[in-house]
Structure 1
Amino acid sequence: MHFDLVDLGLFRHVVEAGSITRGAERAHLALAAASTRIRGMEEAIGAKLLLRTRLGVTPTAAGRTLLSHARTILAQAERLREDLGAFVGGLAGEIKVLSNTNALTGFLPEVLGTFLARHPNISVEIEERLSDEIVGLVAEGVAEIGIVAGTVETARLETYPFATDRFVVVAARSHPLAGRGSIPFAEVMGLDFVGLDRASALQRFLAVKAARAGRALRLRVQLRSFDAVCRMVEAGVGIGIVPETTARLAQKTSDIVVVALDDPWAVRDLTICLRSYRALAPSSRLLVDLMRDWQGRPPAPVGQ
């Protein structure tokens, strides 16, 4: 049997996305071409690699074996590219980072702006996930670097502190909450909310918190960015919950107020998690070094 790197990369993307269609998109292949490649791999092996259902695809036992080897081979190929890149214009490579919503919106843009300016031949792919999902995916080798909430159990992964932020409520200046200095999440669950798409990591996190209290959030509008949430909040559609770093930036251009959440989970220590710092690719090690040195200091208390 013969598989090239495109085959192996496609198969990894399909399994990680849980869909041949989304896997093909990630691999930059047409759906028909991707399906033909997967079928050819199954014929070469003589066994099914994927279980296909209405909900997507999952790997068979043979598929899981192939996935494990594919990740190893692809990582080695990437390491080879990086090592040779040092001889042809400097370090090169592609880094995959899994991040929770807080880090993705509040801290990573500035860090990555600095990193990419220093290393023009390195690219970074970022995927937003829930913190507990990130731990499992980093452990499996889906990505070398994860950024998670400090409260999440990271098992045997190596961890390093990154930054601290907190979730806050944003409301229009005319909203009844505008005069409050702080409020518990339980008091706002029955209000109209402006939120992110239900598939977003933060929205799923808040939905779980509400469900544990026997409630459901009243999402009036679902958007794709915190900036859009703050603009809709300013228009009086409802309240929102966003990272304080985002809320403070939005206050410069929007007429909104920021109200602290009293709940302990609202304060979020952000942690870098890895399988092994020593085993990181050179480009990934450079990014981790920058993040570890980054001064993600705790924000000042709300109202200051």
Structure 2
Amino acid sequence: MRLDFFDLQLFLNIVDTGSLTKGAERSAISLQAASERIKKIEQQFAVHLFTRHASGVKLTLAGQVFASQAQILVHQAQQLQQQMLPFATGAQSAMTLWCNSSAQSEYLPLLLPSYLLENPNIQIELKEAESNDIIQALENGSAQLGLISGFFNSKKLQTLEFSDDPLVLICPMDHELQQQAALQLADVLNYPFVGLMQYHSLQQSIETQAKLLGCSIQYRLRLPNFAAIAQVVANGVGIAIMPKRAANRLQSVYSFQQIELTGDWANRKLLLAAKNFDALPVAYQHFSQFLVSHTSRLPS
């Protein structure tokens, strides 16, 4: 079956004007050409679409059904053209992904380059925040897509598993904790810490857990990234908490001991979250599919 959108619009012009002649004029073709095009449609479906009379044409029952479907198809064609126009003209489409510190530093720098290269008209803004804040932003509609820790309550949201993302303790090689195989957060809060800057979501999350235990963390130094923390810890300044993925990456560069942290808070999963994935703009849906399908390709 072949349908020409010009023929559909011609048909609708005839319906709208009530005249084959006026419909042909509106479509900027001759009366004879219009008549032949309508005849081909009628032959294709083996129906009569119009009855002719002195003052013009009227729709048959088949014509009425055809008209309702033709309007849908023409409208969809117009929508398709509008949605393709930004790609044809090179217009930029911007998306914002809310994420915690771990996702921002350890996962997204590895995933996003290939996506951006495949989609040159896309711009992505990363907005770092603590998981509770991301959940709240998604629930109230100020965010559309976020990467959150599975430790926090997100029952009002739809989530997709993104990756395991456990936290570990790192300490100098000669530290008194270095023989421990696993520790709880409460076991280490009396030691001096090296941490991220106060605005980092991971540090805010660690401090929140410490407060729940009735403690406050004593920092000897705050630094902007995990590499700087690993270097300072390796030099014997203090202990630190960071994602296991970051510790594994940095242990080949700096000499420190890595110790497992126990508890649901530390053995977390990263979840991709939205209020309703099916209701997201198409660009966000496409990006979500990419994130979930490509995480397994990341190096361990």
- Using the size of structure 2 for normalisation, the TM-score is 0.68
Asked if structure 1 preserves the Cα contact closer than 8 Å seen for 2:169 and 2:242, the reply is: yes
Match of 2:199 in 1: 199
> CA distance change for structure 1 residues 155 and 263 in 2, over 3 Å: closer, same or farther?
closer
Residues of 1 paired with 2:139 and 2:148: CA distance? 13
Q: Is the deviation greater in 286-295 or in 219-228?
A: 286-295
Residues of 2 paired with 1:292 and 1:298: CA distance? 11
Asked if structure 1 preserves the Cα contact closer than 8 Å seen for 2:160 and 2:272, the reply is: yes
Asked if structure 2 preserves the Cα contact closer than 8 Å seen for 1:172 and 1:234, the reply is: yes
**1:105 offset after TM fit, Å?**
2.1
Match of 2:249 in 1: 249
Asked if structure 1 preserves the Cα contact closer than 8 Å seen for 2:110 and 2:298, the reply is: no
> CA distance change for structure 1 residues 116 and 158 in 2, over 3 Å: closer, same or farther?
same
Residues of 1 paired with 2:87 and 2:289: CA distance? 19
Asked if structure 2 preserves the Cα contact closer than 8 Å seen for 1:163 and 1:298, the reply is: no
**1:192 offset after TM fit, Å?**
0.7
**1:182 offset after TM fit, Å?**
1.4
Helix, strand or coil: the match of 2:104?
helix
Residues of 1 paired with 2:102 and 2:196: CA distance? 13
Match of 2:109 in 1: 109
Q: Is the deviation greater in 270-279 or in 93-102?
A: 270-279
Tell me how large the CA RMSD over aligned residues is.
2.3
Helix, strand or coil: the match of 2:284?
helix
Residues of 2 paired with 1:170 and 1:87: CA distance? 51
Residues of 1 paired with 2:83 and 2:289: CA distance? 17
Larger-Rg structure? 2
Q: Any residues of structure 2 matched to 1:39-50 within 5 Å, and which?
A: none
Residues of 2 paired with 1:180 and 1:298: CA distance? 29
Q: What is the CA deviation profile of residues 69-120 of structure 1, one whole-angstrom value per residue up to 9, with x for unaligned ones? A: xxxxxxxxxxx9975322224x841110111122222212212122112112
Residues of 2 paired with 1:281 and 1:86: CA distance? 15
Equivalent position amino acid for 1:158 in 2: Q
Identity of aligned residues (%): 26
Residues of 2 paired with 1:82 and 1:195: CA distance? 46
Helix, strand or coil: the match of 1:117?
helix
Q: Any residues of structure 2 matched to 1:1-304 within 5 Å, and which?
A: 83-89=84-90, 92-296=92-296
> CA distance change for structure 1 residues 267 and 87 in 2, over 3 Å: closer, same or farther?
same
Residues of 1 paired with 2:84 and 2:281: CA distance? 9
Residues of 1 paired with 2:169 and 2:82: CA distance? 46
Match of 2:12 in 1: none
**1:253 offset after TM fit, Å?**
0.7
Match of 1:57 in 2: none
**1:225 offset after TM fit, Å?**
0.8
Asked if structure 1 preserves the Cα contact closer than 8 Å seen for 2:151 and 2:264, the reply is: no
Helix, strand or coil: the match of 1:265?
coil
Residues of 2 paired with 1:265 and 1:297: CA distance? 25
Residues of 2 paired with 1:203 and 1:240: CA distance? 10
Residues of 2 paired with 1:246 and 1:222: CA distance? 17
> CA distance change for structure 1 residues 86 and 234 in 2, over 3 Å: closer, same or farther?
same
Q: What is the CA deviation profile of residues 248-268 of structure 1, one whole-angstrom value per residue up to 9, with x for unaligned ones? A: 010111111211112232111
> CA distance change for structure 1 residues 284 and 175 in 2, over 3 Å: closer, same or farther?
same
Match of 1:18 in 2: none
Q: Is the deviation greater in 275-284 or in 286-295?
A: 275-284
Helix, strand or coil: the match of 2:265?
helix
- Using the size of structure 1 for normalisation, the TM-score is 0.67
Q: Which runs of 5+ in 1 are unaligned?
A: 1-79
Equivalent position amino acid for 2:88 in 1: F
Residues of 2 paired with 1:215 and 1:275: CA distance? 35
Residues of 1 paired with 2:242 and 2:192: CA distance? 15
Asked if structure 1 preserves the Cα contact closer than 8 Å seen for 2:111 and 2:295, the reply is: no
Residues of 1 paired with 2:213 and 2:299: CA distance? 28
**1:288 offset after TM fit, Å?**
0.3
> CA distance change for structure 1 residues 108 and 81 in 2, over 3 Å: closer, same or farther?
farther
The alignment of Structure 1 onto Structure 2 pairs a total of residues equal to 220
